[in-house]
Amino acid sequence: MSNKREVARTSRLLVTALFFTITCSLIGFVAPVRAASDESDVRGAIESAFEQLRSGNYDALYDVLPTTSQRRLSRERFTRALERTKNMYELERLEIGAVHVTGDLAVADSVVYGRARAPFEGEGKIVVRQYLVREQGRWRVTTGDRAAISPLLAANPAFAKRYPPTQPRLYVKRDGRWVDISTMIKNARRQAAKRSG
C-alpha cells in the first residue's frame, strides 16, 4: 500500500510541478509575446500611415486618424490641405525608434526622410514623436495633431509624464551634415540684427 501511495504522491507532485512550470512559462512568455505583438502592430500602423502619405492616398490616411480628429476635421478638408502641400516635398523613407505601449496608448519616436522641393530644394528630415490610440482594435495615429494629443495625454497623466510631447525637429543637409532648421533661423536673425544694428 505504501508503494501505491508513494506513486500517487509522486504523480501529484509531478503534475503540480508541471502545472507551475507551464504557468510560469506562460507568465514569462505570453506577456512579452503580447507586448511584441502590440509593438509590431504599432509599427505596422505607423508604416501604413507613412506609405499612404507618401503615395498621396490621403483618403485612406484619413481613416487612420482617431475619431476625435475626424470629428474636428472633415475628410474633404483634410485631403485638400494635403493635396496643396504635396508638391513641396517628396517622402523617401521612415525610421521608427523604440515603441512603448501602455494599454490602448502607444508612442514612438520616428525620423522621416525626404526631399524638399519648395520653397528651396534639398534633403531634409523630421524627427517627430508619434502618439497612437487603439480604437475598436485598430491603432490610430495622432502625429502632429495637438488638438487630439492634448486631451489624450490629459486623460492619461502617468503616460504623459513618461512620454511628454516634443516639438517636431526639422533638419536640412548642408555640406554633408544635418543642420537643425531652428538653428539656421536663429543664425539668420542674428546676422540680420548685426547688419541692421
Digit-coded pLDDT (tens) for 111-148: 999 998 866 688 999 999 999 999 999 999 986 667 77
CB distance 110 to 130 below 8 Å: yes
Is residue 54 pLDDT above 80, yes or no?
yes
- Entry pTM: 0.74
Half-sphere exposure of 195 (CA within 13 A, CB side): 6
Q: Is residue 9 over pLDDT 60?
A: no
Enter the C-alpha cell of residue 57.
492616398
* Beta-sheet pairing, 169-174 with 122-135: antiparallel
Residue 167 corresponds to which amino acid?
Q
Higher pLDDT, 15 or 89: 89
Average pLDDT, integer, range 158-185: 90
Confidence of residue 107 (pLDDT cuts 50, 70, 90): very high
CA distances from 116 to 22, 113, 132 (A): 55, 10, 27
What is the biggest distance separating any 2 CA atoms in the chain, rounded to whole angstroms?
Answer: 106
pLDDT digits (tens, 9 = 90+) for 64-100: 999 888 988 899 999 999 998 888 889 999 999 999 9
Strand partners, 170: 126
* DSSP category for residue 136: T
Task: Please report the pLDDT score of residue 119 as a whole number.
Answer: 66
Computed over every residue of the chain, the mean pLDDT equals 80
Cell 494635403 sits at which residue?
82
Cβ pair 106, 100 in contact under 8 A = yes
pLDDT at 44: 95
**More confident position, 131 or 183:** 131
| 2-16, 21-35, 98-112, 176-190, range with the lowest pLDDT | 21-35
Least confident of 3-12, 118-127, 137-146, 172-181: 3-12
